C-alpha cells in the first residue's frame, strides 16, 4: 500500500524521487549543523589554548623573578659577612692631577682639613724625578693600586701627573677627575718668582733659582730661557695626557685633545681666580667629600695657603710680547674654554641667597607617570 502511495508523480518527479531528495536535504542540513558546531568548538579551543599559554608564560616569568630575588637576597646576606652594604659614595676615588702654580696647595689644604670630618682619605702621589708622565707598566700599577686599595676608599689622590685614561686598561669603575686652571701668563710669572724666592708655605726651603734676582721683565727683554713662551706649555699637556704629541709645544692636536678630555673625563675643572666657587660646586656635587668646604674657605685659614714670597707685576710691553706668541694664544684658548665650561656648570649648580651666600640650587626635576602603580 505504501508502495502504491509513492507510485504517483509530482512536478514531473515520482514520489519515490522526492523522498530521496528530501532525505538528502535533511542529511545535508544535519551535516552543516555538525560542521558549524565543530568550527565553533575549534575556535573556542584555540582561544582557550592561547589563554593557557599566556598564563603558563606569566607563571614562568614570575618563577624566574622569584628565583632572582632569592639569589640577590642570598648574595646580599653573604656580602660583608652580614654587615650593612657600603654606601655607593664610599667606593669613590677622586684624582686631582694638579697643575703647578694654580692654587693646588690651597685646594689640597682644604681636602686635608675635611678628610677627618667627612671620613675619607687624602693621598699624595709623588713621582720620581719630578716627571709628569708614567710608563705603561707604571700606569697599570697605579691603576691597580688605587682601584683595589679598598682600605683607603673613599679617597682623593693628588699629584703633578698628566691625565691617564683608565678605560684604555679595561677598567669599568672609573675614578672622578677634577682639576683647576689659571690664566697662563699669571701662572708662568708666579712660577718664575716661586723658583727664585719661594713662598710663605715653606719659607726656609731654598729654591733651585735662589740668588737669581733678574726680574721677569728683564728676562723677557733679553729673550731668556726661563721666560721663553714655551714654558707656558703646561696646562694643555696635563689635560692632553700621555701621548707624545701632548708634550710638543704648539701642537694643535694636543690642544684639541686637552679640550676633549676636559669635557668628557673631568667632572669639573675650576678656576684659580674663582676658588671659592669651585669649592661650592664640589660641595654641592660631592658632599661626601666636600661638605663644609665653603665654610672652611670663609674662615680664611685655608683660603690662600701658599703665596709666593716676592713677585713683581709685569710691564705692559712684557705682557704684549708674551701674548703675541703662538704658545700663549693656544694656552689661553684652552684656559678660556675651561672658564666658559666652568661658568656654565656654576650657573646651573649654585646660586646666592638673600644674604649673598653661595647655595645649592633647588632640584629642577621630578618623577611622574610611574607605571605600574
Q: What DSSP line would sit under 151-208, residue for residue?
A: GG-SEEEE-S-----GGGGT-SSPPEEEEEE--HHHHHHHHHHHHHH-BSSSTTSPPT
User: Is there a single domain that holds both residue 123 and residue 224?
Assistant: yes
Sign of the Cα pseudo-torsion (262, 265, 268, 269, in order): negative
C-alpha cell at 78: 653573604
Model pTM score: 0.75
CA distance linking residue 33 with residue 317, whole number of Å? 110
User: Is there a single domain that holds both residue 26 and residue 170?
Assistant: no
Range of the domain at 44: 17-62
3-state helix, strand, coil in the chain (%, to 5): 60, 10, 30
User: Is there a single domain that holds both residue 192 and residue 288?
Assistant: yes
Measured CA distances, 147 to 93, 139, 337, 363 (Å): 8, 12, 31, 32
Say if 368 falls within a structural domain. no
Compute how many other C-beta atoms are within 10 angstroms of the C-beta atom of residue 335. 21
Number of domains in the chain: 2
Residue 126: what pLDDT? Answer: 94
User: Is there a single domain that holds both residue 204 and residue 168?
Assistant: yes
* CATH code at position 190: 3.40.50.300
Judge whether 343 counts as a catalytic residue: no
Q: Active-site residue among 121, 124, 158, 304?
A: 158
Say if 11 falls within a structural domain. no
Residue 63: what pLDDT? Answer: 53
Say if 81 falls within a structural domain. no
Say if 367 falls within a structural domain. no
Q: Is the peptide bond before 238 cis (omega within 30 degrees of 0)?
A: no
Q: Active-site residue among 121, 160, 304, 341?
A: 160
Judge whether 158 counts as a catalytic residue: yes
Residue 180: what pLDDT? Answer: 98
User: Is there a single domain that holds both residue 49 and residue 139?
Assistant: no
User: Is there a single domain that holds both residue 23 and residue 114?
Assistant: no
Residue 21: what pLDDT? Answer: 72
Say if 48 falls within a structural domain. yes
User: Is there a single domain that holds both residue 143 and residue 46?
Assistant: no
User: Is there a single domain that holds both residue 57 and residue 146?
Assistant: no
Residue 25: what pLDDT? Answer: 77
Residue 29: what pLDDT? Answer: 76
User: Is there a single domain that holds both residue 57 and residue 100?
Assistant: no
Say if 9 falls within a structural domain. no
User: Is there a single domain that holds both residue 56 and residue 195?
Assistant: no
Say if 10 falls within a structural domain. no
Say if 309 falls within a structural domain. yes
User: Is there a single domain that holds both residue 103 and residue 45?
Assistant: no
Written as tens digits, the pLDDT of the chain (373 aa) is 444 444 556 556 666 776 777 777 787 777 777 677 776 777 676 666 666 666 665 555 555 455 444 444 444 444 444 444 457 889 999 999 999 999 999 999 999 999 999 999 999 999 987 899 999 999 999 999 999 999 999 999 999 999 999 999 999 899 999 999 999 999 999 999 998 888 765 655 665 666 688 999 999 999 999 999 999 999 999 999 999 999 999 999 999 999 999 999 999 999 999 999 999 999 999 999 999 999 999 987 655 556 665 788 999 999 999 999 999 999 999 999 999 999 999 999 999 988 888 999 988 899 999 999 8
User: Is there a single domain that holds both residue 222 and residue 339?
Assistant: yes
Residue 304: what pLDDT? Answer: 57
Amino acid at each position: 500500500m505504501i508502495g502504491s502511495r509513492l507510485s504517483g508523480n509530482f512536478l514531473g518527479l515520482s514520489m519515490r524521487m522526492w523522498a530521496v531528495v528530501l532525505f538528502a536535504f535533511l542529511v545535508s542540513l544535519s551535516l552543516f549543523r555538525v560542521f558549524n558546531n565543530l568550527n565553533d568548538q575549534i575556535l573556542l579551543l584555540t582561544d582557550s589554548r592561547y589563554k593557557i599559554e599566556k598564563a603558563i608564560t606569566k607563571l614562568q616569568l614570575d618563577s624566574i623573578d622569584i628565583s632572582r630575588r632569592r639569589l640577590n637576597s642570598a648574595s646580599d646576606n653573604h656580602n660583608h659577612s652580614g654587615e650593612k652594604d657600603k654606601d655607593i659614595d664610599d667606593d669613590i676615588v677622586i684624582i686631582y692631577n694638579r697643575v703647578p702654580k694654580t692654587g693646588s696647595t690651597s685646594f689640597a689644604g682644604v681636602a686635608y682639613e675635611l678628610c677627618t670630618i667627612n671620613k675619607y682619605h687624602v693621598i699624595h702621589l709623588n713621582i720620581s724625578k719630578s716627571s709628569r708622565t708614567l710608563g705603561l707598566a707604571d700606569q697599570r700599577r697605579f691603576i691597580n693600586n688605587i682601584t683595589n686599595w679598598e682600605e683607603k676608599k673613599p679617597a682623593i689622590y693628588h699629584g703633578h701627573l698628566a691625565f691617564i685614561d683608565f678605560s684604555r686598561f679595561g677598567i669599568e669603575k672609573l675614578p672622578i677627575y677634577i682639576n683647576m686652571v689659571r690664566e697662563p701668563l699669571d701662572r708662568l710669572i708666579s712660577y718664575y718668582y716661586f723658583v727664585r724666592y719661594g713662598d710663605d708655605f715653606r719659607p726656609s726651603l731654598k729654591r733651585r733659582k735662589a740668588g737669581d734676582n733678574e726680574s721677569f721683565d728683564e728676562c723677557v727683554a733679553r729673550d731668556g730661557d726661563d721666560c721663553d713662551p714655551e714654558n707656558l706649555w703646561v696646562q694643555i699637556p696635563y689635560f692632553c695626557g700621555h701621548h707624545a704629541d701632548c708634550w710638543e709645544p704648539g701642537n694643535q692636536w694636543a690642544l684639541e685633545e686637552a679640550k676633549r678630555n676636559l669635557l668628557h673625563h673631568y667632572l669639573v675643572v675650576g678656576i684659580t681666580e674663582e676658588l671659592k666657587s669651585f669649592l661650592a660646586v664640589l660641595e654641592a656635587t660631592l658632599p661626601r667629600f666636600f661638605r663644609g668646604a665653603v665654610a672652611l674657605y670663609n674662615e680664611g685659614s685655608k683660603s690662600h695657603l701658599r703665596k709666593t714670597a716676592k713677585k713683581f707685576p709685569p710691564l705692559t710691553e712684557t705682557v704684549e710680547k708674551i701674548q703675541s706668541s703662538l704658545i700663549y694664544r693656544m694656552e689661553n684658548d684652552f684656559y678660556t674654554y675651561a672658564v666658559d665650561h666652568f661658568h656654565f656648570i656654576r650657573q646651573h649648580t649654585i646660586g646666592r641667597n638673600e644674604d649673598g651666600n653661595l647655595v645649592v640650587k633647588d632640584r629642577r626635576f621630578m618623577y611622574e607617570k610611574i607605571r605600574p602603580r
